[in-house]
Amino acid sequence: MVRRLAKPLAVAVAAALLVSACAESANTADAATEEETSVTILQADIGMGLIKEAGANNTEFLGATQATLVRKPYVETTQDGVFEQDPFTYEGYLAESYEVSDDGLVYTFHLSDAVSAAGNELAADDVLWSFELKFGADTSTAPGAMSPVITDPATQFTKIDDKTVSITIASPGLGTTLLSMLADALAFVYDSTEMQANVSADDPYAIAWAQENPNYGFGPYEITDWEVGSYARFEARDNWILGTPEVDVVNVQVVPDAGSRASTIRAGDADIVEGLSPTDAADLATVDTLIVPTVSSPNTSQVLSLVTNKAPFDNLLVRQAISHAIPFEDIISNVYQDRAVRTGSGIVFTNTPGYDATGLPEYEYDPETARALLAEAGYPDGLSFTLTVSAADAESQATAVQIQTAARPAGFDVQIETVPGADFHTGRYAKIWQALLSVQAPWALTPIYTLNLLTGVDSQNNMSDWEDPEFYEALAASAEVIDQSSAEAGAAWNIAETRLLEEVPFIQIAQVQPGIAISDRIAGYAWRTDNTVDYAHLSINE
Amino acid sequence: MSTATTPPTAAPATRRRLPGSASMVPVVAPLVLLLLVAALGPLLVPYSPIDVVAAPDQPPSAQHWFGTDIYGLDVFSRVIAATRNDLVVGLVAALLATVIGVGVGLFTGTNESRGGVPGSVARGLTRGLDLFDALPQIVVGLVLLAFFGRNLLTLSVVCGLLMVPTQARVVRTEVLRVRREAYLESARLSGESERGLLLRHMLPNSTWPALENASYIFGVAVTVAAGLGFLGVGLPPPTPEWGAMIADGATAASAGRWWSSLFPCLALAVTVIAFSNLAHQYLRRR
């Protein structure tokens, strides 16, 4: 029988060898031709929503195919080939230029001759219709996220002519936040001609259509092939307004497991990997052929929200007590492998022009002080509370374990509850937990935006359910300062931030470095506040 | 002249002899060791199993024999401490599944062929158990835990409930066989009540297979608990439990940091094999 099988077995083996020798590498799903340059990027399974207003979306994909009126320029860092956004200055993108009225309330944008992937030239109607979509679609998050800067595009946006649009804001101090928002994914400008040709009664803003037809924007790339949950292929557009990108083809592959992504780039089978664990990022930073970027002021933060609509954190003293029971340095060291920083207890970015930290309350790990505050609050024997984290968020779970251990000597018995990711999102917006850990990453880094992000009235993002008239009054006063980079503005934010830190509805534990590794074959990686990779800025090292 | 009638005798019970003690040592010894570890282990571990004691992801060393996990917890201490939790889950689940399964199996086996309400209920119950058994255990477990909450007791109960159909089917099969035995008819003709038939004859003769099967149920329950822990719906962190430990270390393992997954994996495998071996060896010796 063995002899009978030998010949067909040999033929099968030979055939298998022949097929595998002729097959393309599995790491280039759609290999570029010899003349084309290509980059392979590995992502976690973060979805492939192809329009921002559909709810779940892939911001990086949209950044490659869409464009904004302005953008934040890139500046070099101390790492070779690595750039980072300057989050406080703005340059033209789809708008060639803009000017601001003397009272700081009207921003006028002059549009370029950009052409969309569908072949239509940019016009003022595209801007107006795009914001009508953002504020009209049921699944859009723009209304909450853009408040109080943009609340009613119908009245705030004005078409001056086919190539000129003005935006009016309520307070001059909101201007820098307006520009920052207009530079981010919330403010993509769509080809309204293409989209309006595909609306229907059931789909009045062509959102469902856009999910299947992603090339309706003015961005540098088109998606030419994709399979949800598996891969996407991007090809550079020759008629992009800022010139043809250097990388012709970008292949994005979904690799759900972070450890597998780390192993793949270590083996040289990928050019960029995203969503690395802090341990993997720290480990890969020691590999000579890889670059793991470290930026000056990362915007991703681990935040502990204390829900103030129920015990025990409806008690200010308890909130102040837990603030002294967080092992900040241990978390930075053990959870983030020193790839995180803590620049004080405040949440306003300390590199903001005009920043003023005078008199801000500071919280450090001090279990004795925490215990004394608990006793003063009426808990001389300590208290127990539940700390909720998402089962999909490994870093928050690790942070919770660190807090549980360190808070015990301070009198806190922390019970950790993990919930599925979808339930966590629902619960945090409904404010049903006692305390929760989450990762926050504001795209706009202006003080008004960061101070308002987690404290807005009736805002889903106000996970602490904390609303304080004194704080809002101080915030509104800071928005009246015309020059938002002045010492006057800094002093105004300081008043609001002081109130926030005294009341401590949430604690910013640490700012976390990006979890990205790049092959030294690639240059031009630029850290962005939306934490995506800008394919158009990449190049290949010779 | 009188004719003496032969009084009814109890059904000849199938005698189960325990195998020779010497040959059972390799089977029983691991179980005894596991029970000792469960009972005394948490008192003897070098570190608290729920407190951060070192930097995370440290490989095995003299200070941390099994290394530290992604949280900085000592893996050796947690593997030992988890023995108690996982054994409780297995034993409670096996006990619950057996007690309920025996009751259900007896009822369905004795009443399926009858008419009226008891027969209808018995037949409906049999079909219901078949349907329940057809559902994926992990999915049913997820739903039940979401409903009842997650702690050691509910996890044990859920795992036990998932195994009830298995035990019930085993007992039902035996009941259907025993029902046709001649000694039962003899007992009935001798005036034995239905209750007496059930308790004195059918129960002892049809439940032994379920008792043998209980060790298999134990292994399956521990594995199901580990599976639920792997999916993140087991015991709340950082409660030591093998499945959750394996899940926590899975991503690290794919990046080369193998220790925080491997050791709880081995502990789980040894436990399941030990309990399954008990049943296998016992059946073989019968």
ipTM for this prediction: 0.73
Inter-chain CB proximity B237 and A258 less than 8 Å: no
Q: Number of A:B CB contacts under 8 A?
A: 73
Residue spans of the domains in chain A: they are: 1-66+219-295+514-542, 87-217, 300-512
Residue B190 near residue B222 (C-beta atoms within 8 A): no
Q: Express each pLDDT in B40-50 by its tens digit.
A: 987 889 999 99
Question: Would the pLDDT of A26 be above 50?
Answer: no
Nearest CA in chain B to A386: B236
Give the global pTM: 0.82
Same fold, A1-66+219-295+514-542 and A87-217: no
Spatial distance between the Cα atoms of A230 and A48, rounded to a whole number of angstroms: 9
Question: Would the pLDDT of A23 be above 50?
Answer: no
Nearest CA in chain A to B72: A334
Residue spans of the domains in chain B: they are: 29-39+66-283
| Cα A328 to Cα A363, A365, A366, A405, A441, distances in angstroms | 9, 7, 11, 12, 19
The pLDDT assigned to B110 comes to 87
Query: Mean pLDDT across chain A, nearest whole number?
Result: 91
- CATH topology for the B29-39+66-283 domain: MetI-like fold (1.10.3720)
DSSP 8-state secondary structure symbol assigned to residue A345: S
Ranges of chain B whose pLDDT falls below 50: 1-15, 286
Spatial distance between the Cα atoms of A319 and A323, rounded to a whole number of angstroms: 6
Inter-chain CB proximity B52 and A420 less than 8 Å: no
Ordered alpha helix ranges (H), A137-213 = 142-146, 153-156, 175-182, 192-196, 207-212
Inter-chain CB proximity B251 and A259 less than 8 Å: yes
Q: Which CATH superfamily is domain A1-66+219-295+514-542 in?
A: Periplasmic binding protein-like II (3.40.190.10)
Residue A115 near residue A239 (C-beta atoms within 8 A): yes
The pLDDT assigned to B22 comes to 67
Inter-chain CB proximity A262 and B255 less than 8 Å: yes
The pLDDT assigned to A328 comes to 97
Residue in B57, B152, B241 to test binding to A, most A beta-carbons within 10 Å: B57
Tell whether B238 is within 8 A of chain A (Cβ). yes
Which backbone phi and psi does A249 adopt, to 5 degrees? Answer: -130, 135
Could you tell me the pLDDT band of residue A80, with boundaries at 50, 70 and 90?
confident
Does the domain at residues A87-217 carry the CATH identifier 3.90.76.10?
A: yes
- How many angstroms separate the CA of residue A258 from the nearest CA in chain B? 6
Could you tell me the pLDDT band of residue A130, with boundaries at 50, 70 and 90?
very high
Could you tell me the pLDDT band of residue A35, with boundaries at 50, 70 and 90?
confident
To 10 degrees, what angle do helices B242-254 and B259-285 make?
Answer: 130
Please tell me the CATH code under which domain A300-512 is placed: 3.10.105.10
| Cα A137 to Cα A58, A188, A274, distances in angstroms | 18, 14, 30
Residue in A42, A290, A334, A337 to test binding to B, most B beta-carbons within 10 Å: A334
DSSP 8-state secondary structure symbol assigned to residue A289: T
Sort out which chain B residues have CB atoms less than 8 A from A259's CB and list them.
Answer: 250-256
| The token pair that represents A407 in the structure block | 């808070």
Q: Express each pLDDT in A249-274 by its tens digit.
A: 999 999 998 889 999 999 999 999 99
Question: Would the pLDDT of A27 be above 60?
Answer: no
Question: Would the pLDDT of A325 be above 80?
Answer: yes
